[in-house]
């Protein structure tokens, strides 16, 4: 294989390895007041993700609107997705570990 092909394959693999979409994680610490959690990624060697926001649910029943705040415990397995762009509005990051959101309980 040519050096150019090896270079391009290495470049593509490097970019793909840093493109995060979603992954199962274990709750390490849950902050109910802030609606965030520290989580440990499963099946891949990555650092603990700190202060990940937890998705809330807004419902309406009989004209009454309420917002549900999930509760988690240490050891719960959750699904974390990563935003396409930076959640803080900086616009610089794409699919970054810093921009995770906990969607819900897996098991």
Helix (H) or strand (E) holding 16: helix 3-17
Phi and psi torsions of 86, nearest 5°: -60, 130
Query: Which domains does the chain carry?
Result: 21-105 (2.40.50.230)
DSSP, res 72: -
Map residue 37 onto helix, strand or coil. Answer: strand
The answer to whether the CB of 52 falls within 8 A of the CB of 102 is yes
The answer to whether the CB of 45 falls within 8 A of the CB of 23 is no
At 45-101, the pLDDT tens digits run 999 999 999 999 999 999 999 999 999 999 999 999 999 888 888 878 888 888 999
Is 42 a residue whose pLDDT tops 90?
A: yes
Length of the chain: 107
Range from 5-9, 12-16, 68-72, 86-90 that averages highest in pLDDT? 68-72
Q: Kindly report the pTM of this predicted structure.
A: 0.82
């Amino acid at each position: 294989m040519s050096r150019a092909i090896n270079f391009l394959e290495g470049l593509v693999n490097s970019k793909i390895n840093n493109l995060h979409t979603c992954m199962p994680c274990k709750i390490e610490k849950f902050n109910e007041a802030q609606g965030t959690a520290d989580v440990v990624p499963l099946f891949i060697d990555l650092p603990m993700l700190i202060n990940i926001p937890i998705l809330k649910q807004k419902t309406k029943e009989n004209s009454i609107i309420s917002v549900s705040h999930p509760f988690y415990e240490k050891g719960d397995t959750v699904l974390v997705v990563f935003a396409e762009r930076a959640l803080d509005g900086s616009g610089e990051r794409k699919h970054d570990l810093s921009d995770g959101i906990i969607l819900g309980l897996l098991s």
